[in-house]
Amino acid sequence: MMSLYTATITLILIMDPLGNIPIFLSVLNNVDPKRRKFLILRENFIAFLILAVFLFFGKLLLEGMNLSESALEISGGIILFLIALHMIFPAEANNKDYKLTGEPFIVPLAVPLIAGPSAMAIVMLLANQHPQYLWLWFFALFLATLFCAATLVFADFLRKILGDRGLVAIERLMGMILTTMAVQMFLSGIKTFFHL
Domain boundaries along the sequence of the chain: 4-193
Q: What is the mean pLDDT of residues 138-165?
A: 95
Question: Are the C-beta atoms of 46 and 106 separated by less than 8 Å?
Answer: yes
| pLDDT score of 11 more than 90 | yes
CA terminus-to-terminus distance, the chain: 16
- Identify the band that residue 95 occupies on the pLDDT scale cut at 50, 70 and 90: very low
Point out the least confidently predicted range of 11-20, 150-159, 187-196. 187-196
pLDDT at res. 64: 87
Average of per-residue pLDDT values in the chain: 88
| pLDDT score of 92 more than 70 | no
pLDDT at res. 98: 53
Question: Are the C-beta atoms of 78 and 11 separated by less than 8 Å?
Answer: no
| pLDDT score of 55 more than 90 | yes
- CA distance to 63, 90, 190, per residue, from 60 (Å): 5, 35, 23
- The pTM (predicted TM-score) of the whole model is 0.84
- CA distance to 9, 31, 122, 194, per residue, from 84 (Å): 14, 31, 14, 26
CA dihedral 40, 88, 69, 138 (to 10 degrees): -30
pLDDT at res. 7: 94
Looking at residue 6, its amino acid is: T
- CA distance to 19, 28, 54, 100, 112, per residue, from 105 (Å): 20, 11, 20, 11, 12
pLDDT digits (tens, 9 = 90+) for 170-181: 888 888 988 988
- Identify the band that residue 93 occupies on the pLDDT scale cut at 50, 70 and 90: very low
| pLDDT score of 191 more than 60 | yes
